[in-house]
Chains A and B, each alone.
Chain A
Amino acid sequence: MPGPDLLSSQGLRLDGRRPNELRRIKCKLGVFTQPDGSAYLEQGNTKVLAAVYGPHQAAKSKSSTDGVVVNCQYSTATFSTGERKNRPRGDRKSQEMSMHLRQALTAAIKTELYPRSQIDIYVEVLQADGGAYCAGVNAATLALIDAGIPLRAYACACSASMAWRAGQPEPLLDVGHVEEAAGGVVLTVAALPNTGSIALLEMSHRLHMDYFDVVLSRAMQGCRDIEIILDRAVRDHLAEGWTKQDIVTI
């Protein structure tokens, strides 16, 4: 199934990246003072804000004795896409994304530590240029770390697509909006790269079994790369917020 021409004859993509390159990621922790944790993340032109409240007392109807209840809300700003959206949240797509976010983040959070509590995670997409879900997961992970919530490992998400170059399959990392719109397959992976486990796997369109492994391994490589970037951002944030008086000598 030769897809649309996503790679030039030089092997470069439509936005000039090589097939295994991520878009530039810029991130910042602690952007708000009101929530317990917050983060801002830019992945290329995709811009996402995440805020975390909690853990706090769970609502009576949701309360569970065996672990914390994770509550996610994914919303897309009306001005985020080329065509103005009417409903920022509550439509089918946002609800599905909220569920996916919850699945990916519950895998990372050590839920068993806080029975009868609840964690609220709000993700707001300010500009959607492909991979908004992935950017949302990455931003939410940073916000959870900022809130001091115990995690098993970083949860990172990355997408991958498939293109052909000279008759050879060539997976593409971190799919942008143009490539998404071109109609190729998009595989979204949310993983805990540190442990090698996959929290969420989603694919649009059909892909031949033979090529699945290469696309998946490229997406996993992307997750590992993103983890390194996030880790660096967290360390920079710690160094910035660290004050000498903090040291408690026992």
Chain B
Amino acid sequence: MTGHVSIRLASERVNHSVSSSNELPRFYTPGEVITGMQDFMRGHGTYAEDDSLKASVAGVMQKVNKLICIRPLKSRYVGEIGDVVVGRVLEVQQRRWKVETNSRLDSVLQLSAVNLPGGELRRRSAEDEQMMRKHLQEGDLISAEVQSVFSDGSLSLHTRSLKYGKLPQGTLMKVFPSLVKRRKNHFHNLPCGVSIIIGNNGFIWLSPQKQDVLYEGNKDEIEEYDLQPVNRSDRETMARVKNCIAALVASKMMLDDTSIMFAYEESLKYPSVKDMLDPEAMLDIAFLAQHRINNAIEE
């Protein structure tokens, strides 16, 4: 098997920056004094020392009345109630699952906070605790919502809705959580036939669109459908969407359905999906998408 391998010099690296904003906000860096006054409350990213408020992370200031926070450019995912997350099951424990969600501590999914597939009602019994591994195994990917945040910052998840639960076939992409825009809806069916879950924790799930009728089917039917092979064109579209997201991430653009869709439409001029991995192509796609976003904002 032969193929073209392109290896480029570090000096020929492509600068992925597409932002056009010239005016920059005031940046704070660790140890810098924000204010010497006492009448402010210290929020995240700040600490009080020697009668003054200092920054502990590098970023920009956010001020709400008297509360001062410094928000870093990127950090681990900090969960908030109602966030949609995609996570991976790490461990099956007594009446709960441990889920990795790119947060500071592992998240917890209680057995009492799941809906069994097919809308089957759960009987609280010893058997169904033993059936837990049948439902979700180590290594399974799930989508869930943050139900509550514990005092130590770890998250409690729930999947009490038909849209949440185990993710069958698709592609997972990890991006920095700060790039995901908080939106009302994080589940999207893109017009190109890919459904996408943009988790607030920076995990993005791409899967072929499935028929809604299926939700009414029983458990076995769903399982059977989930195991059907995905055809090539669907897989190619998913790969294209994934490369579009990679292009947006390389240029540090915010991710939501509009920006991904714009990038997808711009990417159609590259007939082959793998051409989109070229740094110049990535920059081109991100730049055109940014341009369209700017136009959309102006209108």
Please report A residues at the B interface, Cβ cutoff 8 Å: 36-37, 54-57, 110, 114-117, 145-154, 192, 194-195, 231, 234-235, 237-248, 250
Contacts and interface: CB of A to CB of B under 8 A. Distances in A.
A231 B29 contact: yes
A240 B24 CA distance: 10
Nearest to B73: A241
Contact of A154 (B31, B45, B57, B62): B31
B51 to A, nearest CB: 14
25 contacts: A56-B104, A110-B47, A116-B152, A117-B104, A145-B29, A147-B76, A148-B73, A148-B76, A149-B75, A150-B57, A151-B30, A151-B31, A152-B56, A153-B31, A154-B30, A234-B58, A235-B29, A241-B252, A243-B21, A243-B254, A244-B19, A244-B21, A245-B181, A246-B60, A246-B254
A117 B105 contact: yes
A148 B75 contact: yes
B57 A57 contact: no
Given A37-B74, A150-B45, A242-B73, 18 more contacts: A115-B152, A117-B104, A145-B30, A147-B74, A148-B76, A151-B56, A152-B30, A154-B30, A154-B31, A195-B31, A235-B29, A238-B73, A241-B73, A242-B24, A242-B60, A243-B254, A244-B19, A244-B21
Contact of B76 (A56, A115, A240): A56
A27 B173 CA distance: 29
B104 A152 contact: no
Residue of B29, B47, B62, B178 with most chain A CB atoms under a 10 A cut-off? B29
Contacts of B30: 145, 150-154
Given A239-B27, A244-B21, A146 B104 contact: no
A57 to B, nearest CB: 4
Closest 4 CB pairs of A and B: A148-B75, A153-B31, A148-B72, A150-B56
Given A153-B31, A238-B27, A146 B74 contact: yes
Interface string B133-167: 00000000000000000001100000000000000
Q: Which of B19, B58, B60, B178 has the most CB atoms of chain A within a 10 A radius of its CB?
A: B58
Interface string B243-257: 000000000111000
Contact of A148 (B17, B57, B181, B252): B57
Contact of B64 (A235, A241, A250): A250
A192 B31 contact: yes
B71 to A, nearest CB: 8
A110 B56 contact: yes
Nearest to A115: B152
Interface string B48-91: 01000000111110101000000111111000000000000000
B3 interface: no
A150 B60 CA distance: 14
Contacts of B45: 150
Contacts of B57: 145, 148-151
A243 B29 contact: no
B253 A243 contact: yes
A157 to B, nearest CB: 16
Contacts of A37: 74
A28 to B, nearest CB: 11
Interface string B166-203: 00000000000010010000000000000000000000
Contacts of B56: 110, 150-152
A55 B72 contact: no
Contact of B74 (A57, A148, A248): A148
A244 to B, nearest CB: 4
Nearest to A248: B62
